[in-house]
Amino acid sequence: MSIQDKPIIVQSDGSILLEVQSPEFERARDAILPFAELIKSPEYVHTYRITPLSVWNAAALGISHTDVLQALGRYCRYEVPSGVLFKIRDAFERWDAVRMMKHEGRELLVEVKSAELLDQILAKPGIRDMVRRQVSPRIFTIDEQVRGRFKHQLIKAGFPAHDLVGYDTGDRLDIAVRDVTSGGREFALRRYQKEACDHFWAGGSIRGGQGIVVLPCGAGKTIVGIEVMARARTQTLIMCTNVSAVRQWITELLDKTTLGREDIGEYSGNKKEVRPVTVTTYQMLTYRKSRQSEFEHMQLMKARNWGLLVYDEVHVVPAPVFRATTEIQAKRRLGLTATLIREDGLEEDAFSLVGPKCYDVPWKELEQKGFIAEAICYEIRLPLSPEKQREYVMQGDRAQFRIASENILKDAVLKRIIQQHPDEPVLIIGQYVSQLRRIADKLRAPLITGSTPNAKRDSLYAAFRGGEIPVLVVSKVANFAIDLPDASVAIQVSGTFGSRQEEAQRLGRILRPKCRVSTFYTLVSRRTSEEEFAHKRQIFLAEQGYKYTIEEWGLRDIDL
């Protein structure tokens, strides 16, 4: 191919510009995706970035330094900056600089590539304290119980552990995905779902068995989890964000696998069933009576000889569950998420304790192929009332944000939007319960918040799915893992400051495949801090290729 046909330009900061309209676009994208992180995917030029973490993800999947250089050499229009080449080489050298292997008894062998690096690592007190005995100038042992803690401390020092220890098989579980002949309805994995499973499993090799699959909301991450379980054929603990998600997992397992209800346990506030497949919530695992008390249910992670742990919505795993995960590194671990963005910056924790990102696919690519719904995004900016504007300028930052978020003029705008979508199921999503109660009362619509009993939540979700409820008002409890396939309109009246992750999850509520285009509205008080935070929230979706049409409404446009 000629130089001008090459669609990639690598910049000195490690970013990669990829021309979408090039005939080599798809081949070039597939070549760089394993070692470069997608940052933006607007219409004409996609931006990726090479980082140490993205290189370590590639190395964990068996991609070599040579593979990366060949991919860049084949598709780069200009010479790759020398500084970028150095960073890539350094990241690969760091990846294989510390190896962990099985040893005798309860010991693990740690091999460091040089005595100098060993001194550097052991200078870190958190690492030095875990050394059990020195075997040679470059080799020492640690107890297998600190495997996760060691990996966690090591990545904080800038060196990911190349973990070659392997995994316990766990107690066997006869599980298979249903087909038509076994009495199930017709069901087949989509190509990208099978690819995700293949990347995670890695042929059953020592390299496979840990990792994070990143797929858009509505793309079938649960199906990926089920297929991994069928390949592992081992007892499995599944962790979710809420009880509704727990029950959705159970429903999917019963519908799409050969498991019976007696094989599946719900471990929640109402039930404490521990069975070959047990589904629980992060909230349950982290429950304790006081800050000084023990986590009463954390022992569930060791209650059986699990062979597989599934972390649904892995980007929200709470710190105590991460800490517990450090102690059970001998189990295979699958993380599922729509976005690995963590506003606390703990992506490295997910990498070292759950596993590397083993599969990712751009949202717009799946939309174009009809696997998720097409969505149009609007930001509607409206003023504060004159009285609230005076109150707003007198308050501090947090109070100002709440005043802007709870702007009562949003209620009238809501009614107008709902009237524009007369035959479509509408979700109204917000942050503040007092605001949502006011809206629900005015619209005479049911409301789901954190205090709504799980049984009532399930019945309201079912009624919404069945078309009995045209409008449903929900708090942030509906951000995650709620299956409402027919919802095609979502109206966001308030959010969590600048959370990109939340914006992506809320759009995800309306991305289940359907015949019509979905519409996502965000209502924002003009010339307030809410406008600034709305921009930050939208960054992730804009980078995925979604465009926000901005409409400005004045007092004359609002029916008060």
pLDDT tens-digit readout, 227-247:
999 999 999 999 998 888 899
4 or 48, higher pLDDT: 48
CATH 3.40.50.300 intervals, the chain: 180-361, 367-557
Domain 98-163: assigned CATH number:
3.30.780
| Residues 6+ away with beta carbon under 8 Å from 13 | 49
Give me the pLDDT at residue 37, please.
84
405 or 293, higher pLDDT: 405
Please state the φ and ψ torsions of residue 131, each to the nearest 5 degrees.
-70, 130
Instruction: State the average pLDDT over residues 165-173.
Output: 90
Give pLDDT tens digits for 118-154: 999 888 888 999 999 888 889 999 998 888 889 888 9
Give the CA radius of gyration of the chain.
25
Give pLDDT tens digits for 1-33: 777 789 999 999 999 999 988 999 888 988 998
CATH 3.30.780 intervals, the chain: 98-163
Sheet holding 8-10, edge to edge: 8-10, 15-19, 45-49, 37-40
Q: Which secondary-structure segment (H or E) carries 149?
A: helix 147-156
Give pLDDT tens digits for 418-454: 999 998 999 999 999 999 999 999 999 999 998 888 8
Task: Indicate if the pLDDT at residue 181 is higher than 60.
Answer: no
Task: Indicate if the pLDDT at residue 182 is higher than 50.
Answer: no
Task: Indicate if the pLDDT at residue 346 is higher than 80.
Answer: no
Task: Indicate if the pLDDT at residue 351 is higher than 90.
Answer: no
Query: Is 318 in contact with 292 (CB distance < 8 Å)?
Result: no
Give pLDDT tens digits for 385-404: 889 999 999 999 999 999 99
Give pLDDT tens digits for 72-93: 999 999 999 999 999 999 999 9
Instruction: State the average pLDDT over residues 167-194.
Output: 79
Give pLDDT tens digits for 283-338: 998 888 888 888 888 888 888 899 999 999 888 888 788 878 877 888 899 999 98
Task: Indicate if the pLDDT at residue 469 is higher than 90.
Answer: yes
Instruction: State the average pLDDT over residues 483-506.
Output: 82
Q: What is the DSSP track for 227-255?
A: HHHHHH-B-EEEEESSHHHHHHHHHHHHH
Vertex 366: Cα angle to 431 and 49 (nearest 5)? 80
Task: Indicate if the pLDDT at residue 481 is higher than 70.
Answer: no
Give pLDDT tens digits for 265-274: 999 988 999 9
Query: Is 363 in contact with 373 (CB distance < 8 Å)?
Result: no
Is residue 107 exposed (0-12), middle (13-18) or buried (19+ Cβ within 10 Å)? middle
* Tokens 């309201």 -> residue: 460
Give pLDDT tens digits for 102-122: 887 788 999 999 989 999 988
Instruction: State the average pLDDT over residues 152-174.
Output: 89
CB crowding 351-360: b at 16 or more within 10 Å, else e: bbbbbbbbbb
Query: Is 339 in contact with 221 (CB distance < 8 Å)?
Result: no
Query: Is 404 in contact with 530 (CB distance < 8 Å)?
Result: yes
Give me the pLDDT at residue 185, please.
55
Classify domain 180-361 at the CATH class level: alpha beta
| Residues 6+ away with beta carbon under 8 Å from 524 | 379, 380, 381, 382, 404, 530, 531, 534
Would you tell me which CATH number, out of the four given (3.40.640.10, 3.40.50.2020, 3.30.200.20, 3.40.50.300), belongs to the domain 367-557? 3.40.50.300
